[in-house]
Amino acid sequence: MISTNEFRNGEAIVMDGQLWIIVEYQHVKPGKGGAFVRTKLRRMRDDNIIERTFRAGEKFQEAYIEKRTLQYLYRTADTFHLMDTKSYEEVQVPADGIGSAAGFLKENMELEGQFHDGQMIGIQPPMFVDVHIASTEPGVRGDTSKGGMKPATLETGAVIQVPLFVETGDLIRVDTRTSAYVSRV
């Protein structure tokens, strides 16, 4: 059991028979009345985020999240095929289970799989990925009406905004959380 006083960001709890991840929490001690905890919770089943307030000291069942290293093998139409690096067991994940990071996965890349009761509940790709630019238009000097950015297609098929000086064939670093250009490598 875990008390609301022990809440931390990223902690997993079971509430109403469903698995929830604590996105944000705040302990509040008003001048009048009892203390309470204001939280934002994300339901793992469908990524729905809710705001909920609990009394201080309220207890919940803590969920155990097992983390395993998975290797990305290949992709078929709408399924990603991953392999557990310890047991060599193949795991198939639908494209919507990967999320926006699907556009940055390269073959043989290692990911972190999150499991609860033997079921995969999420995948965490590396925070930064180095990829080549497959194609982009040449940057025109003085064209800063769009903030000095232009669209570029990566070798993985994703399209992101990059600075005007980046050219086709360049190796760049991308933040997978925000799908944003970070730097040239």
Which pLDDT score, from 0 to 100, does residue 144 have? 60
Q: What is the mean pLDDT of residues 40-47?
A: 82
Q: Which of 4-8, 132-136, 144-148, 177-181 has the lowest mean pLDDT?
A: 144-148
Here the tokens at position 171 are 């190796």
Q: Degrees (nearest 5) of the Cα angle 84, 90, 94?
A: 105
**Residue 15, phi then psi, degrees to nearest 5:** -135, 130
From CA 161, how far away is CA 181, in angstroms rounded?
7
Q: Degrees (nearest 5) of the Cα angle 91, 22, 120?
A: 10
Q: Is the pLDDT of residue 141 over 70?
A: no
Confidence of residue 38 (pLDDT cuts 50, 70, 90): very high
Confidence of residue 21 (pLDDT cuts 50, 70, 90): confident
Its pTM stands at 0.68
Q: What is the mean pLDDT of residues 62-66?
A: 84
Q: What is the mean pLDDT of residues 40-48?
A: 82
| Ordered structural domains, the chain, with CATH | 2-62 (2.30.30.30), 66-124 (2.40.50.140), 128-184 (2.40.50.140)
From CA 94, how far away is CA 97, in angstroms rounded?
5
The closest of 8, 23, 114, 109 to 62, measured between CA atoms, is: 8
- DSSP 3-state assignment of 163? strand
Which pLDDT score, from 0 to 100, does residue 172 have? 92
Q: Is the pLDDT of residue 67 over 70?
A: yes
Q: Is the pLDDT of residue 40 over 80?
A: yes
E-assigned strands of the chain? Answer: 2-3, 12-15, 18-28, 36-43, 49-55, 59-62, 66-76, 79-84, 90-94, 110-116, 119-124, 128-136, 149-154, 159-163, 171-175, 180-184
